[in-house]
Amino acid sequence: MTEQTYDVVVIGGGPPGENAAGRVASHGLSAALVESELLGGECSFWACMPSKALLRSGEALRAAKAVAGSAAAVTGDLDVAAVLKRRDSFAANWDDTGQVEWAEGAKITVVRGRARLDGSLRVVVSKEGAEDQVLLATHAVVLAVGSDSAFPPIDGLREARPWTNREATSAKAAPERLAVLGGGPVGCELAQAWNDLGSEVTLIVNGERLLPRLEPFAGEYVKEALTSYGIDVRTSANVKSARRDGDGPTTLTFEDGSELEADAVLVATGRSPRTNDLGLATAGLKDGDWVDIDDSCRVKGVEGGWLYAVGDVNHRALLTHMGKYQARICGDAITARSKGDHAMPVKWSPYAATANNGYVPAVVFTDPQVASVGLTEAEAEDKGMSVRAVEYEVGNTAGGSLHADGYKGLAKMVVDQERLVIVGFTIVAPDAGDHLHAATIAVVGEVPLDRLWHAVPSFPTVSEVWLRLLETYGM
């Protein structure tokens, strides 16, 4: 077995792993980044990028049709082959050469193979047809192994070989009939995408509403929109079993005995951590679990404090931008500690991923988009805050009415009545994602309402929703 020593060894080359390695390397530490599949991870090849590419063309077409004048110029349908070709290019044709070049340029050593922890600061990498390689870390090992689709306990589902996010983002053609299990971001976005591309889609959710982690109105708006595009949205629907003969269609049987036949079934009912065969037990942890971290992303309960975890695997916020943020914080904490600094994870310091704790921004790229940051009204109340929430119809802004004929949307802000700052903001509207960062700054900056009153939105933009919300609040 060969043995090499680096200051830091990162396991998993999704964006959080790449950023953790890149950050420590930029501070002059040596870093090895181990990847068993494609450098760039789920996000680049089977999640964020290809799914957004699948969604964008339908959204652009609807946007053009929503304005008198440009609507008349739209005379055809989506060019499905061109959409899929554009998607392929956003997934770099599932080739990670570009990412490897970036890593080499950032002075990161890329190691191909499957990594496993083997006790304190020791990692073993296996690769078919090659001798195992031992990587020793002087300062830290960072886990960035991500998550897989979780399968719900439905009889016969696994045997029916359903789509996961991988097949749903890389398929070469639209299935005639697609059944989607799950109404979170994955289910809603991919139901929208494949409906736009010509599939007859049924979206099946066991809960009462879509997007259950967000403000209830978000799920209602998205349900209404998806239904208007022809998607059959079934809430409070429980699939009991799945049956598939050979490569034929799959039959889903519901609790009430009814059946649904589909040419493809997508499982989008949440995620599970990739920690089954990672050697967690050699660090005193439990194999197969999510990994619990402190605010500097150091894994709790590991003697010597040498193990860190960023991205989905720590289960703080399963979002690329949050994983990358954790990686920057974690990289800075590791570097400081390598120089003897304790780098205490004090709230809002460079060594604490404070935004994990109630300040997370997220966008669901359905049409309309849902953009949110911070706490929902219910979450704030659960935390014991005294809050007041106000809402405003975004279409009543001059910017909204100019943007599209019949523009529809709703924004809600949740105010902590004691501190008079905004603790949560949600907007459902066309292109809402691009309005989110103002809210993120207000929430993270804990900008007092009486100062926000002086942040004047330009006329005539959708941003005037901020002024209207403050007026509705009583300013």
Ligand X SMILES: NC(=O)c1ccc[n+]([C@@H]2O[C@H](COP(=O)([O-])OP(=O)(O)OC[C@H]3O[C@@H](n4cnc5c(N)ncnc54)[C@H](O)[C@@H]3O)[C@@H](O)[C@H]2O)c1
Ligand Y SMILES: Cc1cc2nc3c(=O)[nH]c(=O)nc-3n(C[C@H](O)[C@H](O)[C@H](O)COP(=O)(O)OP(=O)(O)OC[C@H]3O[C@@H](n4cnc5c(N)ncnc54)[C@H](O)[C@@H]3O)c2cc1C
According to CB under 6 A, which one of 312, 332, 367, 416 is a site residue for ligand Y?
A: 312
Please state, as a whole number, how many other Cβ atoms lie within 10 Å of the Cβ of residue 253.
17
Q: Look-up: residue for tokens 């020593």?
A: 5
Return d(Cα 9, Cα 120) in angstroms, integer.
Answer: 12
Judge contact between 458 and 440, C-beta under 8 A. Answer: no
Burial of 422 (0-12, 13-18, 19+ CB in 10 A): buried
- Whether cis (ω within 30° of 0) applies to the bond prior to 212 is no
Identity of the residue, 126 or 236, whose beta carbon is nearer to ligand Y in the bound complex: 126
Decide: is 35 part of the binding site for ligand Y (CB under 6 A).
yes
Find where tokens 């039959």 sit.
Answer: 251
Contacts of 63 (CB under 8 A, 6+ apart): 404, 430
Binder of ligand X out of 15, 22, 187, 424 (CB under 6 A):
187
Q: Which window, 269-277, 282-290, 332-340, 392-400, contacts ligand X (CB under 6 A)?
A: 269-277
Number of residues that bind ligand X (CB under 6 A): 26
Stretch that binds ligand Y, among 143-151, 376-384, 419-427, 464-472 (CB under 6 A): 143-151
Rounded Cα distance, 415 and 425, in Å:
9
When the beta carbons of 55 and 467 are compared against ligand Y, the nearer one is 55
Q: Which does 144 bind (CB under 5 to 8 A by kind): ligand Y, ligand X, none?
A: ligand Y
Say how far apart CA 100 and CA 388 lie, in whole Å. 49
Least Å from the CB of residue 182 to ligand X: 3
Of 273 and 399, which has the nearer Cβ to ligand Y? 273
Site for ligand X in 192-211 (CB under 6 A): 204-207
C-alpha to C-alpha distance for 290 and 44, rounded to whole angstroms: 22
Residue 186 contacts ligand X per CB under 6 A: yes
| The one segment of 26-34, 134-142, 180-188, 398-406 that binds ligand X by CB under 6 A | 180-188
* Cα–Cα distance, 50 to 171 (Å, whole number): 10
Q: Could you tell me the end-to-end alpha-carbon distance of the chain, in angstroms, rounded to an integer? A: 69
Q: How far is the CB of 305 from ligand Y (least distance, A)?
A: 21
Binding residues for ligand Y restricted to 231-290, rule: CB under 6 A: 274, 278
Per CB under 6 A, the segment of 9-17, 63-71, 263-271, 416-424 that binds ligand X is 263-271
* Partners of 427 in beta bridges: 371, 411
> Is 462 near ligand X (CB under 6 A)?
no
Task: Report, in angstroms and rounded to the nearest whole number, the Rg of the chain calculated over CA atoms.
Answer: 24
Q: Which stretch binds ligand Y (CB under 6 A): 1-9, 21-29, 142-150, 227-235?
A: 142-150
Binding footprint of ligand X on the chain (CB under 6 A):
152, 181-187, 189, 204-207, 212-213, 239, 268-271, 318-319, 362-365
